[in-house]
Amino acid sequence: MASLDEPAYDVFLVHCEADKSTAMHIDGVLSKAGMKCIASFKDNLFPVGREILENIKYAVENSRLTLVLLTKESKNSPWVTLETVLALEKSQRLKHLCIRLLLQGIEKSDERELKVGILGNLPHLFIDVGSGDWEDRLVESIREPCPISKILPAGNIALGQVYSLVVGYYGYILPALKDGLTKSNYYFPGRTSLKFFILLPHDSKTYRTITDYEQRIRHVGKIDVTQKVHVGKPREYKVDLYSIKDNSVTDDLCSLVLGKIKEELTDESIEKVSSPVTRLLVAKEGSKRNDATITYCNEVAEDSKVAERIESALEAHGWKFEDGTGHSNFSYIGCGKWKIFVLSKEGLQRKLLKPQFIAAVTDSIDENRLCVIPVLRGMKIQEVPDCIKWVTYLSSDEGDCEERLIQTMKGEEMIMETRLPSGDVATGLAWGFILNYLPIPLLGMYIM
């Protein structure tokens, strides 16, 4: 068995099915250069019968480098996204860049469209399989080592900025927001939201003013929220008020606008006319007959107790669910919008639970939406199977687990693209902080 210093393969070649012929050509180029490649199209390397997530995890961990063939087709593949996320996670863990990008069949002017989020920082190479001038450059790029610090120099500055924003600015304005807004000239009962919205961009871009980007958003003005003494001086704190108009419906929002919200405002899958606020906060109605399925190992008494707590919480909120325990087939997995799994070391050792969980994750990836919620009991994150560590977890050992689960289910399923950090490593940490932690205090919940 190869050591970490001597991986079994030089390159894991990532591609979508539409680019298979191009990937096979690249494999031939690398083989001529003496490199050993692993790819899904190679015999016996992705054996039938082994879960696809296990195959991907094996390929990433046992290759010195992951080479992503990035095209207009592969950009929309959730499986390519997953493989990229795992390669980025490995890079962060080893402090060494274990991923390279190949841009095929696109113009240089289209580069920004494909290299979104953290991909914008990664080394890339334009190739054209019709010519051979790229082959030597590709081999050289793969052989050249690249430490993380070379391309991600920001350190933890972004995380510090987010922390300062939360404990400083938010700490002043949020407690006084409702009172300040209702006393302002801009308050219209039934139309003006009393919540403070943080609008997060899908593409990580920020704009000088959101009104220049989206015509349906209008800056109404500033409202006085509170006065505080900061660093020995009295200071006034004001909040921007924006008006968002969608057809005949208008809502006024207090908001720190971080980027575009056009995608949220133009969701055509909702047939009924609804408020933009509703579209931002309420999950879309789907064709699932239940709100959730709950799967656990009923042979483990403690897991059953956790499942009972979850079921009681869902019943208290009037949500429909199905108990998935005891199913020998996996068809029930698709019957619920959310797939909740109680995971423990004892449960994962049983025959059925781990395959069911992997099947649910696989189904989510196929739909390009992450709607699996693992609830850990007595487990540390280090004990979770490597191929599923990138999923966001809850812990039943925390006293507010059920409340956090309910808040998660009130939101919308996460699109796979959002699993990519929104910038460099530090910004990715900050992004995770916003997505995972901030909803708890901002929604009025508390942490013991």
Q: Residue 72's domain is classified under what CATH number? A: 3.40.50.10140
Highest mean pLDDT among 59-68, 170-179, 352-361: 59-68
Residue 284 clears pLDDT 50, i.e. is over it: no
In this structure, the answer to whether residues 164 and 253 fall within a common structural domain is: yes
Q: Which of 107, 134, 151 is the last residue of a domain?
A: 151
Distance of CA 37 to the CA centre of its chain: 29
**For residue 436, what pLDDT is reported?**
55
What is the pLDDT of the chain when averaged over all its residues?
Answer: 71
In a domain, 416, yes or no: no
| Residues contacting 331, CB < 8 A, separation 6+ | none
- Give dist(CA 15, CA 426) in Å, integer: 28
Which helix H or strand E contains 281, and what residues bound it? helix 276-281
In this structure, the answer to whether residues 329 and 364 fall within a common structural domain is: yes
Where would I find the beta strands (DSSP E) of 308-420? 321-323, 336-343, 369-370, 372-376, 394-395, 414-415
Which CATH number do you get for residue 210?
3.40.50
**How do residues 306-341 score in pLDDT, each as one tens digit?**
999 999 999 998 888 888 665 555 565 667 788 899
Average pLDDT, integer, range 112-121: 59
**How do residues 90-110 score in pLDDT, each as one tens digit?**
887 787 888 888 888 777 666
What's the token pair of residue 250? 């208008």
Q: What's the domain range around 221?
A: 157-284
- Reported confidence tier of residue 14, pLDDT bands at 50, 70, 90: very high
Higher pLDDT, 125 or 342: 342
Total domain count, the chain? 3
In this structure, the answer to whether residues 48 and 129 fall within a common structural domain is: yes
Residue 251 clears pLDDT 60, i.e. is over it: no
CA 298, 304, 307: angle at the middle one, nearest 5?
120
Q: Which of 151, 173, 189 is the last residue of a domain?
A: 151
Residue 280 clears pLDDT 60, i.e. is over it: no
**How do residues 434-444 score in pLDDT, each as one tens digit?**
555 565 555 54
DSSP secondary structure of 62-129: TEEEEEEEE-TTGGG-HHHHHHHHHHHHHHHHHTB--EEEEEES--GGGHHHHS-GGGGGS-EEEE-T
Average pLDDT, integer, range 370-380: 84
- Give dist(CA 91, CA 94) in Å, integer: 5
**For residue 419, what pLDDT is reported?**
45
In this structure, the answer to whether residues 378 and 304 fall within a common structural domain is: yes
In a domain, 273, yes or no: yes
- Reported confidence tier of residue 117, pLDDT bands at 50, 70, 90: low
Residue 414 clears pLDDT 60, i.e. is over it: no
- Reported confidence tier of residue 30, pLDDT bands at 50, 70, 90: very high
In this structure, the answer to whether residues 242 and 296 fall within a common structural domain is: no
- Reported confidence tier of residue 396, pLDDT bands at 50, 70, 90: confident
In a domain, 49, yes or no: yes
On whether the CB atoms of residues 93 and 116 are closer than 8 A, the answer is no
In this structure, the answer to whether residues 252 and 303 fall within a common structural domain is: no
In this structure, the answer to whether residues 177 and 273 fall within a common structural domain is: yes
In a domain, 425, yes or no: no
DSSP secondary structure of 239-265: EEEEEEEETTEEEEEEEEE-S--HHHH
